[in-house]
Structures are given as C-alpha cells and as structure tokens.
Chain A
C-alpha cells in the first residue's frame, strides 16, 4: 500500500499562517488531520462494537487484529473493519467567539486559530464516524448545530462564517448549552478564558455532568503571554472598552507572572475536575499542538 503524503516527519508541522492562505476550510482540515493521523500509531477513539460499519484502508498503527483477511485475499490490499460503535460518539465544539478572540499581535487571530482547531477536530471526528456539532457563543449562544454524522459541511460552513463581535461571558451560554448535550459525548471548549479560574470551572463543570468527556483548548496570542510591548501606550480592553495608559516595561514582569498564575491555576483546577486542558499559542503550528494534546490524552485515557 502506498503512503500518502508527508514522508518527511517535520513536514507535518505546517505553519498555521501558511494554512490560513488556503481558502477552503475543508481542505485545510484534511491536510492537517490527514498528516496528523498518518503518524499516529494507534487511533485514539477506537469503537468497540460488533456492528460492522465499513472497511477502511489499513494505516500503520492500526491493530492488525482488525485486518479483514478476506478482503486482503480478494484485493491484495489491507483493509480494516470499522464497527458502528465507533461513530456513536457525539463530538461537539463549543467555540467562544467573543470580541477578545479577534485579537492578533501578528499573524493569525485567536479566532482563526480556534476556527482551524475546531475544523481540524471536526474533520478528524467525522473521519472516525463521530457525529459532529457546533455551538458558538459570546455572552449568549450564537449558533447551535446539533451533532450529526452528516453535519461536517454545516459545521465547517458555520465556522467559516463566524465573526467575533460582542463581549463574551461563560456562565450563561455554557449553562444554556448543557441542555443540548443530554447524550454523552465529547465536548471541546475553545476560548481564551478571560475570567477568574474558579468562575470558569464553575461554568464548565455542568458540561461534564452528563458523563461528557470535556476538553478545553486555551487559545492565546503570544503577545498575551509574553507582553512584548515597549512604548508607553494606552491599552483598550476589546470587550469592555476600558482604556488604560500603560508603561509595558514596568508592567511586564507582573503581567507575565499573573498570566502564568492564571494558566497554572486553570490547568490545576481542570485536572481536579477531570477536564482535559491544553494551552495553544497561536504562534505555534496547529498540528503541533493537536498532536501534543491528543497524545497526552491517549496517555491519560490509559491511566483512566
């Protein structure tokens, strides 16, 4: 069997800014996810079921127990049998499209980065026969696409159209969205999480009550982490409109410390509440972060 593209391992870490030039999100997601999955030794979401769903071409890392030898005998190619249970999972993305997500210091914005992440994972989930859905929210729910196996295009289309607008909050929209996830599934929250960690956890926790597998992607611009500004300047809060004259060099150390504390507290609280937390820096390649996260998740799932 022929390997598709990406014979060079480093090629997988494609720069997201380069990807951003590709207009179609569908293609984008495919490029990233295909390259990503090819390198994975074991698929993370392998359904355990007796109901045959379809055949899939063998990929390195697939369990050889599932190779359909009869098909191999007929076609001289390796195919693995996929079972229905694998596609039973609901994969929903809760995407924060509040105004703060539109921020970019250089390169792509957090919103675009989150868009790519959502698109990639949705595509990825569809590949696994999962049902995909999307909820976008700022201080209320903006769009809601219920999970469905046929909703990939709808989701991608919705992702393509979203625009950051209003100031955001977490409690209200997240509480409302718990209504949508009666059935167990995988929930992914993508946001910059500008709120107190305890408040955030309080807002996020209800999502995991129905036995949902909750993941949160904390997307931040490098400027938000490093605070690289030099000149004295007035900063304006994108969401509240508050203006504040700031001398960055006086502030930088304290700011970095506070951001660091925020991230560590959030990740610690997530761990305590069995929520998978991942920090994404928009300057880093998209698949790099994905790979790290999913690999870690697999490890964690083994422990669980």
Chain B
C-alpha cells in the first residue's frame, strides 16, 4: 500500500487531540465552592494530576474517524500484483499531431484530431502515452502518462498554428522520450499531411531498435481543389507633385490541381478596401496583380492583400506595412575648380535609387559654411582640402553629433595640421602603380559596407584596378575595412562621438582607378553613404517563426522610445506581452499571422509601431511524400541500446493507480459514518450525565 500524498500522514498527530480532550474534559470549567481546602492541600499534588480516560468507546470512535479522514486525504492505493498482471506487453505510445497551418486545408485538422483521439482510445490500460503537437517546433504536454482523459483533452483543445511543417524537432523529441522509456514496446503514430517541405529536417533522428512508426496521412484522398496563395507583394514608389505614391503588386500562385476563374483579389490599406481585381489562374500557375497607386502619408500604413477564401484559408491573406520612402541628405563638397568632373560619377550614382532616395547638394569647399550642414546626414569631402576656420569646427561638431563624413583623397587633397582632427589616418603623397595597377587585397566582408558583396556572384570589388592612391597611416582608434594588395589601408573607419568618418585612399571617379566603371561602383557608394547615414531599410513584413529585436535601433526610432523603454506588444490574437528593456536586448518571437502592435509605454502620443507577420509561403505547397517511405526512412536508422524494465508494476504510475482505485472515497465515507456514530454516542452520554446530575 502506498500513499499519493504521504505528507498528510503528519496529520496523524491530530489523533492526540481527542485523547487530550478526553483527559481534559473531566476538569470542567465550573467551580465548586468548598468550606476549606485545608485537607486537600495536605494531599500530595501528583495524586490528583494523574488522569484517567473515561468513555473509551467515544475516544476510539473519534480517533478512528480522524485516522480514516487523514488516510483518505493521503490518497492511498495498493500496489498489488493482481493489478499488474498481464502488463508484459505495455507500450510507450507517442502520438505526433501535425498542427502546421497546411493542416487547415479543407477538413484535415478535424480528421487528424479524430485520428489522434482514436489512437488514444485504443490504448490498453497499462500503456503510457504522450501527445506531441508540432509545426516547425515540437511541444509535448504531459509525458508518458496513462491518464487518457488528460491526453484526449489535450488533443481536443489543440489549435492550428500559423507555422510551417518540420518533422525533425518532433521526431527528435520522440527519440528522447523513447530513450528514457523502460517499457518493452515503443510505438509512435505520426498524424500529418506529410508535406515534402518538412522532410529534409529528419536526417538527425535515430529511433531505438524495434520502434514502430505508424503514419496516418490525412488529406491523401482529398479531391482536386485549387489552392491559391498570396506569395508576396512588391512596392513601386514614385514621387508625384511632391507626394510619394506607391503601387502595390501582389504575386499569386495556385498550388492546387484545379484552375481558378474570376478570383477576387482585394487590396486594403489601413483597414479600408482600396481596390478589388479579378484574375484567372491555371493549376500550378502564378500571376502578378498590379493595383492602382496609393498616395502615402507621413506615417506608415498597414496593408493587406486578400483573396477569396479557398480550401487553405491561412495563406489567402498577406500583411505588410508601407513606410514613407526615406530620404538620405548628402552634401558633396568638391574642389574649387569649375571645370572639374570629379563629382560626376558620385552624384550620378547617388542620383539613382528609390530606397532610400539620396538628396544631393554639391558645393565647393570655398563656399562651404556652417549653414550648409543644416539638415544633412552625410558630407562627402571629394578630393579637396579640409575646411578651415569656422567651417572646419562646424564640420567637427557635425560629426560629433552623429553626422557621417566621407573623405575621398585625390590629387588636391590637403589636410593641414591646424585642421580639425577628424581623419582615421594621415595620408601621404600618392603612390603610383601605373604598370599593372594595384587591387584590393583585403576586404572586411562582415562590415555593412561590403556585406552585400560577401555572397558568391554578388559583385567583386577586388577586380578594381588602382593606379594611384595615397598611403594612409591609421590612427590607433581607427579600423581598416579594406587594404590594397601592398598592405596600405584603402578604406579606414573612425568613430568620433556619435558620428563616423570614412577615409577612402583613392578617388571615386575614373581618374586614379577604374572603380567607377565597375558594376560594384553603384552599390558600393550607396552602401558607403547608407552606412554613414545610419540607414536601415524598414521591413514591410516578417515571417512566422522570425524574432524581432525590440531594442534594435529601428524599433527604438519608430516607437519613439528612449534608450531604455518599456514596450507592450499586442499580438494579432490580442495577447498582451509586456517587455521591459533595460540594458539587455529583448526579442519577440513572432508566432501568429497578422499585425503585431508595439506600444511604447513611456511615449506620450501612443502611436504603435505595426509589424506585419505572414505565414511561411513554402507551407502552401501541399506536395506529399509517401508516408510509408518516410516511416521506413526514419525507423531504418537504428539508435543506441536502452534498458527495458521487467518490473511490471512500475508500468503504472502511482497517480494512475490511485486514480483508478480511488480508495480514498471509502475512507472518507468510513470517517463520515464514524463521526455520525460519535455524535450519537456522545449525545447519549451527555444525556446520561445530565440525568445523573
């Protein structure tokens, strides 16, 4: 016999209570006046302190009632061998239930839940079971339990997620549970739509030998239906009479085997329906829908592209946030020579671009004054002397307060000693590499300026020929981002205050090198200026499963928070998450499709930052893998050994034994009956005492 809550047995000490009451009750509170205690005082004290228990029946009744009550609370159960016989074939059953959003196709989810419930109902009494709900992550509720009611309720309460399918994490979890299990038979049931997209993550799984995997495919017998999804949107920004207009284009694909005719596609901006177009789509076809241009305001707008609901409704909607196009203001300071073309390549390259748009102003260094810096984010000193006097001090202050400065050296570059100390390094007289030209020998591809070129076939800056450049001796606080093949610094960075200064050791025209004629020139100067302007392109949407960093610069600026802020994040389903950002970064796991609202609790005007989250478009591809093939692929790899427990009584947990036996009820009823008997007996006794009095 065991107890589920043995701590209650400490209550047995409570049995002393009736014993004490029986000892004490003989000393009544009433007082009898007696002429003199002269004689009693002569009698030794202890002789009347010793007390004797009367009403033994009553005492035993009370003690027994308390005993039964305490035992009932301790939840007793028997570990008798009779109950455990026939448990030799006990199974460890794990039900894997796919809850990725593709399971919402037609009625697959209901079928899957029914199948899971069916599996749980077929379990034998001694079987232990676990239910794992998985999408791209796996989640198990109660592990290895025999209580079927809680498992079936877990299945009944399960809901579809907005995430994609990955079998790997779920199977890995199964592997872990099986390795811990000591039952002789291991079985797992995989209830899924067996999408091919989820399969590639199964390679790491090794089940113990003898594991049986039973695949239950839902939706394999579905009729051929269309499955149109909104795969994404594109924006085309235009400026029309000083206002920014945006044209939204939506890409639609039909992953189903049935064609679609007259499908309504609607664009909604800020909750208002803007335009509805109709399209036709062939099986496995795709198309782009161009909506009319929309004028953007000063604040970001929430946009939704929606199509008429089909068999898989989750991917029929696409959320995005359109921010007003950002403008990076650049001041190009050239030399004083009028017939100079040194700015030509630079200004032309910056003139191309819509995200962001570069607003360029060109002046000569002689005209340069402090007022020219107003409203500018980046200053380019292109092959010219350093500004001196008041202008030089203003430039230093401009950098200190967060401005960006690009110093391009060339023929006319002079930086006298009395100029402000801004340069990342001192440059010397030009080096001539006229024969074959030099090239870049080292490039820091992890730096934002060169990150774009890090991937293969994304542009090679090292093919540029440098015929002339100035040798640079970097200051200790400077970082060299690129070097020429002779080891001389090509691009040097120095941070001063909140601002950044970059020193380019050659020109940005075709005079000292052929960079301006290379395809990488345009992205290179764009990235240089974007980096100096601290520009981050706003993300119009995120995908389910991504995380956003609330302490990132972008969020801080958009949500108008300070350096340390408190955010309240409201998920699309209405769940509120409070995030207090101190020194540490805070991440929000985006799990739901729709708009997340990020409120800054400290902001005066609470204009929330909207973050659009869309489902993984790949999950719309319902192409199936053969379930049997997948099962044999998983169970084919045999894992390590494990020990099987032959003690059959351990197959049933104490909770379940107690739950099944429920002996406490009998103890409770027994205690109740004893209390009734006690009431009757004590009433009768007190009546007798009163009559004798």
Residues of A within 8 A of B (CB): 100-101, 103, 110, 192, 194-195, 221, 224, 229, 231-240, 242-247, 250-251, 254-255, 258-259, 262
Q: Could you tell me the distance in whole angstroms from the C-beta of B193 to the nearest C-beta in chain A?
A: 83
Interface-lining segment among B35-43, B268-276, B289-297, B652-660? B35-43
What would be 19 A-B contacts, judged by CB atoms less than 8 Å apart?
A100-B36, A103-B33, A103-B35, A194-B36, A194-B38, A229-B32, A232-B26, A232-B51, A233-B31, A234-B27, A234-B28, A234-B30, A237-B35, A237-B36, A237-B37, A242-B37, A247-B48, A247-B51, A251-B47
Given contacts A254-B43, A255-B43, whether A221 and B35 have CB atoms under 8 Å apart is: yes
Q: Could you tell me the distance in whole angstroms from the C-beta of B516 to the nearest C-beta in chain A?
A: 114
- Say yes or no: A238 contacts B31, CB within 8 Å: no
CA distance A257 to B26 in the complex (A): 24
Given contacts A232-B27, A246-B40, A251-B43, whether A100 and B35 have CB atoms under 8 Å apart is: yes
- Say yes or no: A251 contacts B34, CB within 8 Å: no
Question: Which chain B residues border A262 with CB–CB below 8 Å?
Answer: 39
- Say yes or no: A255 contacts B26, CB within 8 Å: no
- Say yes or no: B50 contacts A250, CB within 8 Å: yes
Question: Which chain B residues border A229 with CB–CB below 8 Å?
Answer: 32
CA distance A194 to B36 in the complex (A): 7
- Say yes or no: B31 contacts A236, CB within 8 Å: yes
**Of B26, B33, B48, which contacts A231 at CB under 8 A?**
B26
- Say yes or no: B31 contacts A255, CB within 8 Å: no
Question: Which chain B residues border A254 with CB–CB below 8 Å?
Answer: 43, 47
Question: Which chain A residues border B42 with CB–CB below 8 Å?
Answer: 258
Q: Which of A242, A247, A258 has the most CB of B within 10 A?
A: A247
CA distance A244 to B38 in the complex (A): 11
CA distance A259 to B36 in the complex (A): 11
Question: Which chain A residues border B36 with CB–CB below 8 Å?
Answer: 100, 192, 194, 237-239
- Say yes or no: B32 contacts A244, CB within 8 Å: no
Given contacts A236-B31, A243-B31, whether A255 and B40 have CB atoms under 8 Å apart is: yes
CA distance A215 to B91 in the complex (A): 105
Q: Could you tell me the distance in whole angstroms from the C-beta of B611 to the nearest C-beta in chain A?
A: 80
Q: How many A-B residue pairs have CB under 8 A?
A: 84
CA distance A40 to B12 in the complex (A): 75
- Say yes or no: A251 contacts B31, CB within 8 Å: no
Given contacts A194-B38, A246-B40, A255-B39, whether A235 and B28 have CB atoms under 8 Å apart is: no
Q: Which of B29, B31, B47 has the most CB of A within 10 A?
A: B31
Number of interface residues of B (CB under 8 A): 22
- Say yes or no: A238 contacts B41, CB within 8 Å: no
Contact mask for chain B residues 493-511; partner A; CB cutoff 8 A; 1 contact, 0 none: 0000000000000000000
Q: Which of B31, B33, B47 has the most CB of A within 10 A?
A: B33
Question: Which chain B residues border A233 with CB–CB below 8 Å?
Answer: 27-28, 30-32
Q: Could you tell me the distance in whole angstroms from the C-beta of A176 to the nearest C-beta in chain B?
A: 23
**Of A101, A231, A237, A259, which contacts B34 at CB under 8 A?**
A237
CA distance A185 to B654 in the complex (A): 97
Contact mask for chain B residues 163-203; partner A; CB cutoff 8 A; 1 contact, 0 none: 00000000000000000000000000000000000000000
Closest to A262 in B: B39
CA distance A192 to B36 in the complex (A): 10
Question: Which chain A residues border B31 with CB–CB below 8 Å?
Answer: 233-236, 243
Q: Could you tell me the distance in whole angstroms from the C-beta of B251 to the nearest C-beta in chain A?
A: 97
CA distance A103 to B48 in the complex (A): 24
Closest to A230 in B: B692
- Say yes or no: B37 contacts A224, CB within 8 Å: no
**Of A236, A245, A258, which contacts B33 at CB under 8 A?**
A236
CA distance A198 to B559 in the complex (A): 106
Closest to A98 in B: B35
- Say yes or no: A103 contacts B34, CB within 8 Å: yes
Question: Which chain B residues border A259 with CB–CB below 8 Å?
Answer: 39
- Say yes or no: A247 contacts B26, CB within 8 Å: yes
CA distance A110 to B32 in the complex (A): 17
Tell me whether chain B's interface is mostly helix, strand or loop, or mixed.
loop
Question: Which chain B residues border A238 with CB–CB below 8 Å?
Answer: 33-36
**Of A192, A236, A250, A258, which contacts B32 at CB under 8 A?**
A236
- Say yes or no: B34 contacts A236, CB within 8 Å: yes
CA distance A246 to B32 in the complex (A): 10
Question: Which chain B residues border A237 with CB–CB below 8 Å?
Answer: 34-37
Closest to A254 in B: B43
Question: Which chain A residues border B26 with CB–CB below 8 Å?
Answer: 231-232, 247
Q: Could you tell me the distance in whole angstroms from the C-beta of A229 to the nearest C-beta in chain B?
A: 7
- Say yes or no: B43 contacts A258, CB within 8 Å: yes
Q: Which of A195, A242, A259 has the most CB of B within 10 A?
A: A242
- Say yes or no: B43 contacts A232, CB within 8 Å: no
CA distance A237 to B39 in the complex (A): 11
- Say yes or no: A224 contacts B27, CB within 8 Å: no
Given contacts A255-B43, A258-B42, whether A224 and B48 have CB atoms under 8 Å apart is: no
Contact mask for chain B residues 14-36; partner A; CB cutoff 8 A; 1 contact, 0 none: 00000000000011111111111
Closest to A248 in B: B48
Question: Which chain A residues border B39 with CB–CB below 8 Å?
Answer: 255, 258-259, 262
Known pairs A229-B32, A239-B35 / 11 extra A-B pairs, C-beta < 8 Å: A100-B36, A192-B36, A194-B38, A231-B26, A233-B27, A234-B30, A235-B40, A245-B48, A250-B47, A254-B47, A258-B43
Q: Could you tell me the distance in whole angstroms from the C-beta of A295 to the nearest C-beta in chain B?
A: 29
Question: Which chain B residues border A110 with CB–CB below 8 Å?
Answer: 35
CA distance A156 to B38 in the complex (A): 32
Q: Could you tell me the distance in whole angstroms from the C-beta of A190 to the nearest C-beta in chain B?
A: 14
CA distance A255 to B51 in the complex (A): 18
CA distance A259 to B38 in the complex (A): 10
Question: Which chain A residues border B32 with CB–CB below 8 Å?
Answer: 229, 233-236
CA distance A110 to B39 in the complex (A): 18
Given contacts A233-B27, A235-B40, whether A194 and B48 have CB atoms under 8 Å apart is: no
Question: Which chain A residues border B35 with CB–CB below 8 Å?
Answer: 100-101, 103, 110, 192, 194, 221, 224, 237-239
CA distance A258 to B47 in the complex (A): 15
Question: Which chain B residues border A245 with CB–CB below 8 Å?
Answer: 27, 48
Question: Which chain B residues border A243 with CB–CB below 8 Å?
Answer: 31
Contact mask for chain B residues 72-97; partner A; CB cutoff 8 A; 1 contact, 0 none: 00000000000000000000000000
Closest to B51 in A: A247
Q: Could you tell me the distance in whole angstroms from the C-beta of A152 to the nearest C-beta in chain B?
A: 30
CA distance A293 to B125 in the complex (A): 96
Question: Which chain B residues border A246 with CB–CB below 8 Å?
Answer: 40, 48
Closest to B24 in A: A232
Q: Could you tell me the distance in whole angstroms from the C-beta of A97 to the nearest C-beta in chain B?
A: 13
Closest to B26 in A: A232
Question: Which chain B residues border A258 with CB–CB below 8 Å?
Answer: 39, 42-43
Q: Which of A240, A250, A255 has the most CB of B within 10 A?
A: A250
CA distance A259 to B35 in the complex (A): 13
Q: Could you tell me the distance in whole angstroms from the C-beta of A226 to the nearest C-beta in chain B?
A: 13
Question: Which chain B residues border A101 with CB–CB below 8 Å?
Answer: 35
CA distance A245 to B51 in the complex (A): 12
Given contacts A234-B27, A258-B43, whether A251 and B38 have CB atoms under 8 Å apart is: no
- Say yes or no: A244 contacts B33, CB within 8 Å: no
A-contacting residues, B44-80, CB 8 Å = 47-48, 50-51
CA distance A246 to B27 in the complex (A): 8
CA distance A242 to B37 in the complex (A): 8
Q: Could you tell me the distance in whole angstroms from the C-beta of B630 to the nearest C-beta in chain A?
A: 84
- Say yes or no: B28 contacts A231, CB within 8 Å: yes
Q: Could you tell me the distance in whole angstroms from the C-beta of B553 to the nearest C-beta in chain A?
A: 84
- Say yes or no: B28 contacts A251, CB within 8 Å: no
Question: Which chain A residues border B30 with CB–CB below 8 Å?
Answer: 233-234
Question: Which chain A residues border B38 with CB–CB below 8 Å?
Answer: 194-195
Q: Could you tell me the distance in whole angstroms from the C-beta of A33 to the nearest C-beta in chain B?
A: 28
Question: Which chain B residues border A234 with CB–CB below 8 Å?
Answer: 27-32
Which 10 A/B pairs are nearest by Cβ-Cβ distance?
A232-B26, A100-B35, A194-B36, A258-B39, A103-B35, A237-B37, A247-B48, A235-B34, A250-B48, A232-B27
